């Protein structure tokens, strides 16, 4: 049945067993509040870059702290004014603002500053790096003679004529990637929701904060005593840590208020290789209530895999240090390469297993078979199907025209990266992967010239440099989109209204981010901003890799092959065993998370695993479910304290 728009953005749609439900659209109230908060978030981030404000709290873990606190404040205001927000409106606001935060805190803005590197590379070393002139299109970067002096010295206006095409190009690239994500999620979402019944564990705190029964004023979880115990204890402990900045006599608990880094422990090892092995293991000890609460929401097998593979990675590095079979740095590179491509392999296997549902989606799109099954799809089926085919080709053409990289490798990168990001979203939906990290800088785009140094060679480097900060920045948006659709489904928000909200939030945040970044950069001088590096590090590192200056050509090629081939074999093995045997305890996410969760939260995962393991042994699911509000209280309390003190320091910088 075709949907019909009615007042206040609410629409009627066919759902479930033929019954009609009223689904919420993108209301003007939700849109205006979201846009206002997005502008505030971008301004906050620019002030942070100028060292005039603290960082945006909780942007590294899901759920995002600032939007979570924002929806609580909106609930209080709505209740006080007797104009309560619909739960769906709060979810739309949360989703849009979180999308903006993920953009502005991702260092995507550095990609704009990095465009200076293209002309600087040639000027710095015309013999070694002069190939860029034949490969990189001139509209990718501004004319340095016009654009760079003002950026370097400050007290200047932005030469928008020089920056128009570079910013338009970068915006087009990231918007195309985001639209591809939305199309892929639309194709696969029904399988995740109706066949696999994925849990989306990290959506639990947001849903708990917006779920209110008819006869109650506040969310249902507010009437649970365990929630208030967890919330109160966390607020007290974390507030003491925050207030210690102003009152040093207050106690400080390193493993709770922060984390205990263990890199300094490497001094206890006798040889440089052992010290390097410990350093590269990245163990960190933290029992932060927010992180512990997030971990508690994750399934037992995933928690076990998080800390087990962190331990296995450390043992592998120490084994290499003991046997001398491979230098520790090379062994570490093998594990990093294994995890980078491994998620793309995982995603391809996931799509292969889902092929029947994918075929059904395309039949619905082009033959109208069972089209009513997709009435609330995020994007109309035909549009999503066409987009999944056309948009990758359009992105390939754009990147080929910009960087001169062989078209087949550009297409391969687009497929590996976008499909891998879909797999990243799957890990969040199934296993609650809480961090924003999948690949590091140039993690997938550099594979081409590393594996085929003679076929692709120098022509692969401009693409890799050109997407250096796009690769780590964009993948988490697939995660967030999948979470947002799940939140919308649970609170009766139209899928297409959520899509419109996400696209608006994403595009506005990207453009505002670039514009405000350049404006402030030319006003204060780019060197005054954090994390900006005008050096040729990205170029030099990748050109040196290509010519084998670090480890020698043979060792350089071998370690990447070992990582990629080994990673493929291990991921396939873990995935197949998980499909074949219910008792199999190892989840592929444990291996794939070593560039994210495992490094920082391996000990936290072990603590949460031990708590849940003992609860299962003594009381089963009943005890696990009973204690869940306690740990949700940890998350809300930690988010609230960090957000409140961050806002205070933002409004009163002298208190920072």
Convert the pLDDT of each residue in 98-151 to its tens digit. 999 988 887 777 777 766 665 655 555 555 566 666 788 888 888 777 887 888
Q: Report how far residue 54's alpha carbon sits from residue 226's, in angstroms, rounded to the nearest whole number.
A: 32
Residue 90 pLDDT: 92
pLDDT at 77 over 70: yes
Q: What would the DSSP string read from start to end of 574-587?
A: HHHHHHH-TT----
> What average pLDDT does this structure show over 277-296?
83
Phi, psi for 357 (deg, rounded to 5): -70, -35
Collapsing DSSP to helix, strand or coil, 383 comes out as helix
Quote the pLDDT of residue 439.
61
Q: Which residue has the tokens 């035909």?
A: 382
Can you list the positions of beta strands (E) in 471-612? none
Q: What is the pLDDT of residue 362?
A: 94
* Separation of alpha carbons 642 and 66, rounded Å: 8
pLDDT on residue 252: 82
Binned at pLDDT 50, 70 and 90, residue 610 comes out as: very high
Q: Which residue has the tokens 């592998």?
A: 316
Compute the distance between CA of residue 131 and CA of residue 463 in angstroms, rounded to an integer: 13
In the chain, % of residues over pLDDT 70: 83
**What kind and span of H or E run contains 81?**
none
For residues 409-436, average pLDDT: 84
Mean pLDDT of 510-537: 76
Cβ contact 434:294 at 8 Å: yes
- 68/395: higher pLDDT: 395
Pick the more confident residue, 98 or 570: 98
CA 349, 352, 358, 360 torsion-angle sign: negative
- Residue 1: predicted pLDDT: 36
Q: What are phi and psi of 406, to 5 degrees?
A: -50, 135
pLDDT of 21 reads 56
22's enclosing H/E stretch is strand 19-24
For 178-216, write each residue's pLDDT tens digit.
999 999 999 998 888 888 888 888 888 999 988 888 888
- Give 284's strand partners: 261
What three-state secondary structure class fits 371?
Answer: helix
Nearest-10 crossing angle of helices 160-190, 407-431? 50
Q: Output the pLDDT for position 54.
A: 76
Cis peptide before 161, with omega less than 30 degrees from 0?
Answer: no
Give CA–CA dist 435/601, Å, rounded.
Answer: 10
What gap in Å lies between CA 578 and CA 446, rounded to an integer?
31
Residue 536: the pLDDT is 45
How far CA 407 is from CA of 174, 397, 398, 404, 577, in Å, comes to 19, 8, 10, 8, 36
Q: Are 464 and 442 a contacting pair, CB within 8 Å?
A: yes
SS3 of residue 13 by DSSP: strand
**Of the segments 1-10, 475-484, 498-507, 637-646, which one has the largest average pLDDT value?**
498-507
9: left (phi over 0), alpha (psi -120 to 50) or beta: left
pLDDT tens for each residue of 12-61: 343 333 444 566 788 899 999 999 999 999 998 888 877 777 778 766 66
Q: Residue 168: pLDDT above 90? A: yes
Are 113 and 135 within 8 A, CB to CB? no
Task: Give the pLDDT score at 449.
Answer: 67
Distances (CA, A) of 23 to 4, 28, 207, 348, 433: 10, 15, 17, 34, 29
Residues 6+ away with beta carbon under 8 Å from 512: 38, 39, 42
> Mean pLDDT throughout 270-286?
79
pLDDT at 507: 94
Count Cβ atoms below 10 Å from residue 377 Cβ, excluding itself: 23
**Residues with Cβ within 8 Å of residue 558, at least 6 apart in sequence:** none
Instruction: Give the integer Cα–Cα distance in Å for 145 and 58.
Output: 40
The DSSP line for 507-522 is HHHHHHHHHHHHHHHH
289 versus 268: the higher-pLDDT residue is: 289
Arithmetic mean of pLDDT over the chain: 81
pLDDT (tens digit per residue) in 616-628: 888 888 999 999 9
Ramachandran area for residue 326 (φ above 0: left; ψ -120 to 50: alpha; else beta): beta
Backbone angles phi, psi at 427, to 5 degrees: -65, -40
Half-sphere exposure (Cβ direction) of 67: Cα atoms closer than 13 Å: 31
Rounded CA separation 179/188 (Å): 15
Averaged pLDDT for residues 303-318: 87
Contact 432, 301 (CB under 8 A): no
pLDDT of residue 15: 36
**What values do phi and psi take at 484, rounded to 5?**
-65, -40
Note the pLDDT of residue 235. Answer: 93
According to the 3-state scheme, what is the secondary structure of 320-365? Answer: HHHHCCCCHHHHHHHHHHHHHHHHHHHHHHHHHHCHHHHHHHHHHH
pLDDT at 2: 35
So what's the pLDDT on residue 511? Answer: 92
Tokens of 186: 């639309």
Q: What is the mean pLDDT of residues 326-349?
A: 78
């Amino acid at each position: 049945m075709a949907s019909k728009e009615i007042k206040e953005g609410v629409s009627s749609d066919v759902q479930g067993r033929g019954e009609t439900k009223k689904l919420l659209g993108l209301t003007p109230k939700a849109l205006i509040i979201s846009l206002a908060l997005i502008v505030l978030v971008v301004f906050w981030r620019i002030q942070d870059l100028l060292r005039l404000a603290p960082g945006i709290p909780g942007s590294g873990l899901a759920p995002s702290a600032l939007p979570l606190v924002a929806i609580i404040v909106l609930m209080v205001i709505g209740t006080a004014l007797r104009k309560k927000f619909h739960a769906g409106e709060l979810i739309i606001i949360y989703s849009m603002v979180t999308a903006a935060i993920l953009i502005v805190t991702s260092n995507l803005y550095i990609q704009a500053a990095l465009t200076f590197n293209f002309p600087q590379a040639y000027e710095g070393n015309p013999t070694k790096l002069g190939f860029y002139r034949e490969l990189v299109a001139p509209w990718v970067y501004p004319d340095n003679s016009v654009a760079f002096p003002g950026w370097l010295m400050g007290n200047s206006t932005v030469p928008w004529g020089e920056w128009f095409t570079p910013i338009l190009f970068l915006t087009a690239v990231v918007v195309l990637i985001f639209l591809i994500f939305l199309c892929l999620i639309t194709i696969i979402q029904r399988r995740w929701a109706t066949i696999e019944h994925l849990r989306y564990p990290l959506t639990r705190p947001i849903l708990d904060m917006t779920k209110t029964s008819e006869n109650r004023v506040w969310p249902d979880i507010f009437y649970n005593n365990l929630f208030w115990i967890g919330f109160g204890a966390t607020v007290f402990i974390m507030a003491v840590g925050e207030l210690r900045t102003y009152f040093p006599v207050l106690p400080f608990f390193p493993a709770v208020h922060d984390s205990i880094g263990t890199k300094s422990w490497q001094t206890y090892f006798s040889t440089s290789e052992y010290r390097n092995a410990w350093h590269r293991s990245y163990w960190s000890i933290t029992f932060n209530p927010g992180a512990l609460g997030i971990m508690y929401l994750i399934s037992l097998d995933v928690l076990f895999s998080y800390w087990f593979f962190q331990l296995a990675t450390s043992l592998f590095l120490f084994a290499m240090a003991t046997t001398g079979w491979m230098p520790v740095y090379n062994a570490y590179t093998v594990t990093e390469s294994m995890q980078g491509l491994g998620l793309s392999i995982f995603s391809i296997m996931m799509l292969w297993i889902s092929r029947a549902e994918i075929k059904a989606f395309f039949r619905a799109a082009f033959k109208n078979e069972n089209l009513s099954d997709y009435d609330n799809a995020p994007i109309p089926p035909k549009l999503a199907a066409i987009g999944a085919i056309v948009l990758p080709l359009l992105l390939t053409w754009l990147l080929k025209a910009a960087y001169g990289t062989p078209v087949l490798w550009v297409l391969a990168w687009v497929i590996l990266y976008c499909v891998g990001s879909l797999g990243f979203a799957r890990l969040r939906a199934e296993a609650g992967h809480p961090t924003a990290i999948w690949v590091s800088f140039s993690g997938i785009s550099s594979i081409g010239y590393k594996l085929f140094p003679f076929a692709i060679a120098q022509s692969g480097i401009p693409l890799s440099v050109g997407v250096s900060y796009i690769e780590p920045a964009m993948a988490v948006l697939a995660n967030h989109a999948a979470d947002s659709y799940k939140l919308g489904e649970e609170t009766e928000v139209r899928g297409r209204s959520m899509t419109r909200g996400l696209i608006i939030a994403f595009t506005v945040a990207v453009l505002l981010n670039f514009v405000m970044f350049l404006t402030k950069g030319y006003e204060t001088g780019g060197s005054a901003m954090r994390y900006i590096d005008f050096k040729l590090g990205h170029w030099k590192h990748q050109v040196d890799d290509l010519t084998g200056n670090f480890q020698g050509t043979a060792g350089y090629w071998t370690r990447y092959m070992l990582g990629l081939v080994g990673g493929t074999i291990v991921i396939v093995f873990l995935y197949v065993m998980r499909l074949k045997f219910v008792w199999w305890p190892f989840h592929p996410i444990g291996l794939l998370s070593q560039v994210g969760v495992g490094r920082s939260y391996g000990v936290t995962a072990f603590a949460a695993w031990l708590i849940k393991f003992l609860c299962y042994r003594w009381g089963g699911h009943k005890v696990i479910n009973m204690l869940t509000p306690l740990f949700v209280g940890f998350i809300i309390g930690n988010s609230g304290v960090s957000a409140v003190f961050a806002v205070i320091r933002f409004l009163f910088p002298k208190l920072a």
